[in-house]
Amino acid sequence: MVEQLADSRLRVEALSPEYQGHAEQWAQRLGLPLEDDTAGFAVQVGGDGLQIQQLGPQAPGPVRVDFVEGQAAHRRLFGGGSGQMIAKAVGIAQGVRPRVLDATAGLGKDAFVLASLGCEMQLIERQPLVAALLEDGLVRGRADAEVGPIAARMQLLKGNAIELMRNWQGEAPQVIYLDPMFPHRDKSALVKKEMRVFRPLVGDDLDAPALLEAALALATHRVVVKRPRKAPIIEGAKPSHSLEGKSSRYDIYPKKALKA
């Protein structure tokens, strides 16, 4: 069930009558009403799948997960392949495609990039609404001829990442990737749109030190933490080194070498 904050009430709505049944199913799954005139956000169901729309005159456009078109498609086709900084950070190299757990999956963008490069991915998302968007995006991705094989390498787990990592079942991931949501400012238009929608619903990851600790205990080979370029490191263990880009930085905590 989605927790409703006082300033971010939610309702579920169908964008056209043929999706009313789907809207009712999502409302039941998420524990949200179909009618609420005081709602500040709407979970909308339509031809493009599931999306969240902030309501009001100055609201940005809807947020959805789309692995087939748009930004994900552009990055898949023109993003730089294994030369991308995120690929280097997780240890992708010739003959090396590590098993990666993205413990703060969000909208799945980074996980999709790694899956498109050949990594087997597990994704954890604890916020039920974000997990619903991710689930919907993966279903549509798996139905696409080109994206299907990539989406098939992405397994979604729902719940608290710290608890799931501490009580992990099965083979441990070689690499754990963390991108906690911190109270920082980012002025890019895309991030602003998504953050305007998600900040009131998700909040910040104030348990990042515990998240890092659990990841370091579980990963067999390394932990990678994505941070804003000028942000301090997470409290706790210190990274051995970092890869720095224009706006982001990858702090790397190695345990042992990845080999082909």
Binding site as annotated, residues for S-adenosyl-L-methionine: 125-126, 179
CB 224 within 8 A of CB 214: no
Where is 254: in which H helix or E strand? Answer: strand 248-254
The pairing of strands 154-158 and 241-244 is unpaired
CB 234 within 8 A of CB 249: no
- Counting beta carbons within 10 angstroms of the beta carbon of residue 6, is it exposed (0 to 12), middle (13 to 18) or buried (19 or more)? exposed
Residue 39's closest CA among 51, 49, 54? 54
To 10 degrees, the CA torsion angle through 38, 194, 111, 29? 10
Residue 219's closest CA among 106, 95, 117, 91? 91
Residue 218's closest CA among 153, 170, 253, 172? 172
Residue 32's closest CA among 52, 58, 61, 59? 52
Contacts (Cβ under 8 Å, ≥6 apart) of 125: 104, 105, 106, 131, 134, 156, 157, 158
CB 156 within 8 A of CB 123: yes
